[in-house]
Chains A and B, each alone.
Chain A
Amino acid sequence: MHAESFFFCCCLWKCVCVRRRSTVASLLRRRCANCFDCPCCMHTLSTRATNIPAPLADDPTKTTMKKAYYLACGFCRWTSRDVGMADKSVASGGWQEPENPHAQRISKLIEYYQQLAHREKQERDRKKMARRRQCMPLAFSQHTIHVVEKYGLGTRLQRQRPGAPISALAGLSLKEGEDQKEITIEPAQALDEVEPLPEDCYTRPISLPEVTTLRQRLLQPDFQPAGASQLHPRHKHLLMKRSLRCRKCEHNLSKPEFNPTSIKFKIQLVAVSYIPEVRIMSIPNLRHTKESQVLLTLTNPVENVTHVTLAACEEEDPDDVNSTAKVLVPSKELVLAGKDAAAEYDELAEPQDFQDDPDIVAFRKSNKIGFFIKVIPQKEDDSDVTVTFRMRHDFRNLTAPVRPSEDGGDAAPEAIWLTHHVELRLGPLAP
């Protein structure tokens, strides 16, 4: 499955397809830029406006009503004023999520380790280059010892195989004077003392609504505040629309639409549009062990002529579980005309001559024929009479790309014969 497009379920802002690397911040964060979640109950917050008196820019003595916006939850009545967030003067885009206080330290650490990693990569590349020189004498020469000493890392680095217990980036501490621009990092200082619990912890009664639950805390992993007055809202998380691909042939089965307001059904290879449809037209009174004729219709969904052969199920057919009647199907091949979309408008179209056997084919109408099968119910109980048979028809895959044949012309797609198991429930026996 591909995670290709994101559905902004909160505001239907857009349903964006992220195929290329997108630099839109909200998409990288997978969060909506406009909408927020209530930190208490996780519903979507709505922006509310109030009028507050504010001094005019020109004349501080006069006051005018200005709009101030704040966030509020319609479900649990939380508002952004509860955590001390000031009202903003713009309806959207004013609220920022609080930044992690350690962000700078962490980025410095990353820079430092990236430098060490870069050195390790250089060592690795150097090693690879050296290995390729196979013509070198294999004997352990004096020079090897110098080489090993120079790098100072020796065989331990060579043994860095993936998955082995990681020894982090140990031996790669920067050598003196080897790099002009060294990034050093201050190692963290350990503390002698830790802050103890406040004294009133043992005596102060706690009010549970002011203490955050574990769920609320975990919604903000960077801060995990214990007090409800520090719960800040976060941007709303997006949902994702998934496009499905067949594992074997990589054919796209379902693909999300860019704009949620214009959704078209895109699946093309639907079985219904390729397999001839069998329908029951009329059923006479069915009597136990008496042969009756049932009228079925066969409709051709494709545009070319289709040939259908019916056959009774074999004795040991594993699909044949439910049949309660014997069935005699016509043994001759039935030919179905192609579906012609313009047929109903074109009355002067020549009816195609198919030479139908009137015992088998009852009628023919454009791409549909009616035919008879003989049914002999075998069981006398109250359950429905079920007949099964096998239908074999030819199928041409017109959606597959047509390879140009060797003689230059376009070859028609090869016909593939498919066999299906058909089961029909004809209703109860006549009383």
Chain B
Amino acid sequence: MPIFDGLGSGGEKTAIVIDLGAAYTKCGFAGETGPRFIIPSEIRKPGQQQATKVVQYNINTEELYAILKEFIHILYFRHLLVNPRDRRVVIIESILCPSHFRETLTKVFFKQFEVPSVLFAPSHLMAIMTLGINSALVMDCGYTETLVLPIYECTPILPAWEALPLGGKAIHKELDGFLVEQCSVDTDTTTGQSVPAVIGAIPEETVEDIKVRTCFVSDLQRGLQIQEAKFNLEGTAERPAPPPDVDYPLDGEKILHVKGSIRDSVMEILFEQDNEEKSVASMILDALVKCPIDTRKVLSENLVVIGGTAMLPGFLHRLLAEIRLLVEKPKYSDVLASKNFRIHSPPAKPSCTAWLGGAIFGALQDILGSRSVSRDHYNQTGRIPDWCCLSSPPPESFYEAGKTPPPLMKRAYSMEK
């Protein structure tokens, strides 16, 4: 850890960078090499056993406000240990984040914690800041969904976005189904019990832990064989030999026998093509097709994959292989001229890459202030600017309305030589 991380250049205190993900929140200080804390995005209300998820889009504003307030309070006073009033905030967000959530989050920051300013940074854009390049095709494999957004010369090509709800959540659901159907539990008295009989539903934390510790993504050949065996109705296709079983200890004396065949096949849902022939790999090609022709070569040679789900062992290798396989299909090969795909490895773990980009941006104290929404501006307009909302006026015309002419005509004569 750098020693002088409290002193920023220019005398301002370092900003806080928060990446509020659906499953985990990464928070820390700008200018550092990694987040200080990665904590689950949930809060525990007293008296309730089940934790409440923080990132929910379908609840009403008051509840969301209360949940966010509690969560940000924990972030500040349990983990970061700073005074909220002193430091600017950089929030890494997904561009598909609903406006309602964004506005409530801003309100919590400005009204409750009185931070000096807030900056919403798109996660895909921040990811390329960690690489020192200007264009890339960024794929964020997160919890709720996988989102692909191409960035060309530091500008997101918004019309070419692609999203699929294939993320950690879908994997957990699939894995949970397999575990309940196929696996058995040993307690201290009995063996071979079915899972629902012994413990009812498996908590999602446990499913996640099983996924992280025992499952992996098979390579292309094996994966295709597994898929064939699954969908094959006649039963002629055989799946390759499964990896060994694992005995996973649940709390107490119970042991869950995780079948080996689950370990390599549960991740196939990411690559199985559904009825619309969409999978995590095809999204990249679909996004490429939507991009302007002259950008495609640069984008295909600069793939960046971020997000927690991309950390699964074998994921990147399989992804590249799938893309190379799919691009041969007539749907794509007729349209895409370059079939050269290369992938970057950012200087951080995929789950923290977007955070790192935000931290690098947050360290630029010269411009962080001018690019953020300040508390005064928010108090005057009551709104935070959004890319999808056309009614946000630029602040220059807001403050000096009627006095200055429109920008184009302003600088008529300059003394600069």
Contacts and interface: CB of A to CB of B under 8 A. Distances in A.
Answer whether A and B are interacting partners. Answer: yes
Interface stretch (B58-66, B130-138, B229-237, B279-287): B130-138
A186 interface: yes
A263 interface: no
Contact of B6 (A28, A102, A163, A204): A28
Contacts of B120: 163
Nearest to A213: B209
A238 B360 CA distance: 26
Nearest to A146: B414
Of the candidates A25, A117, A137, the one having the most CB atoms from chain B within 10 angstroms of its own CB is A117
B34 A100 contact: yes
A66 interface: no
Contact of B409 (A100, A138, A211): A138
A190 B371 contact: no
Contacts of B377: 162
B222 to A, nearest CB: 8
Interface stretch (B169-177, B185-193, B244-252, B328-336): B244-252
Contacts of A110: 31, 360, 363-364
Interface in A168-184: 168-170
A97 B1 contact: yes
Contact of A218 (B24, B28, B365): B24
A42 to B, nearest CB: 13
A248 interface: no
Interface in B358-379: 360-361, 363-367, 370-374, 377
A206 interface: yes
A170 to B, nearest CB: 4
Given A124-B370, A162-B374, A196-B317, A113 B414 contact: no
A70 interface: no
B5 A161 contact: no
A321 interface: no
Contact of A109 (B122, B132, B395): B132
Contact of A28 (B3, B37, B249): B3
Contacts of A100: 33-34
B394 A161 contact: yes
Interface in B131-158: 131-134, 153-156
Given A120-B366, A191-B345, A197 B33 contact: no
Contact of B367 (A106, A117, A191): A117
Given A28-B6, A201-B313, A165 B414 contact: no
Contact of B314 (A28, A124, A170, A196): A196
A30 interface: yes
A194 B310 CA distance: 13
Interface string B16-50: 00000000101010010111111100000000000
B416 interface: yes
B412 A141 contact: yes
A213 B213 contact: yes
Interface string A123-149: 010110011010011111101100100
A139 B209 CA distance: 67
Interface stretch (B74-82, B195-203, B270-278): B74-82
B54 interface: no
Contact of B34 (A113, A150, A213, A221): A221
Contacts of A120: 366-367
B38 A194 contact: no
A158 interface: yes
A106 B360 CA distance: 8
B307 interface: no
B121 interface: yes
B248 to A, nearest CB: 7
Contacts of A191: 342-345
A166 B342 contact: no
B412 A144 contact: yes
Contacts of B410: 130-131, 138
A192 B342 contact: yes
A29 B28 CA distance: 11
B56 interface: no
Interface size class of A (residues with CB under 8 A): 35 or more
B81 A3 contact: yes
A187 B301 CA distance: 13
Contact of A161 (B35, B36, B385): B385
B301 A197 contact: no
B33 A160 contact: no
A75 to B, nearest CB: 17
Interface in B378-394: 384-387, 392, 394
B76 A3 contact: yes
A114 B373 CA distance: 20
B373 A118 contact: no
B381 to A, nearest CB: 10
B122 A161 contact: no
A214 interface: yes
Contacts of B384: 163
Interface string A238-281: 10101000000000000000000000000000000000000000
Interface of A: 1-4, 6, 21-23, 25, 28-30, 97, 100, 102-103, 105-106, 109-110, 112-114, 117-118, 120-121, 124, 126-127, 130-131, 133, 136-141, 143-144, 147, 150, 155, 158-170, 185-197, 201-206, 208, 211-214, 217-218, 221-222, 224, 226, 237-238, 240, 242
Interface of B: 1, 3-7, 9, 24, 26, 28, 31, 33-39, 76-83, 119-122, 125, 128-134, 153-156, 208-209, 212-214, 216-219, 222, 240-241, 243-244, 246-249, 264, 301-303, 311, 313-314, 316-317, 320, 342-349, 351-352, 356, 360-361, 363-367, 370-374, 377, 384-387, 392, 394-396, 404-405, 407-414, 416
For the complex of A and B, 7 pairs with smallest distance between CB atoms: A163-B385, A102-B347, A190-B342, A170-B154, A222-B34, A117-B364, A168-B154
26 contacts: A4-B83, A23-B7, A109-B129, A114-B364, A121-B367, A140-B409, A141-B412, A155-B408, A158-B407, A162-B372, A167-B155, A190-B344, A197-B313, A202-B218, A202-B222, A204-B244, A208-B214, A212-B213, A214-B213, A221-B34, A221-B38, A222-B34, A224-B311, A224-B349, A240-B77, A242-B77
Given A110-B31, A159-B394, 4 more contacts: A109-B130, A120-B366, A140-B408, A208-B213
